[in-house]
Structure 1
Amino acid sequence: MSTSIRVSEQIYMYSELINKLLKLNFDDFRVNLPATAKNNLIQSCNLLKECCSLLDEILKV
């Protein structure tokens, strides 16, 4: 497995983890994150996952 694919998988894994954490109830952790900031982070994670998928496709060629 090439380094690029491993990096892509790591980025994907971290973006998934961040997504899961953001979906938790922030009140339980006493974190006051505005809804817009939370949504922006979720969108960023989704974009990261898309980039990783594209990178995987490119590396398979």
Structure 2
Amino acid sequence: MLPSVQTIRDSGSTELVVGPNAWLVTLTPSGYGSIVKVQKSAGEYSGLPEPELRFDIARCTT
């Protein structure tokens, strides 16, 4: 489970804001599965390291 997730659905894709505006994850369906785009916010947030975030997102998309 990811901590503090806000979900926004827009134009066929889903955006997840993880942590207090720490990460923006965009999930877009494609013919081969999902396209996952991850962006870190400009602010510093050490509550969720990137490797853990990638693992949690990968588990959700398979």
TM over 0.5: no
Which structure has more helix as a fraction of its residues? 1
TM-score, normalising length: structure 2: 0.32
TM-score normalized with structure 1 length: 0.33
More strand by share: 2
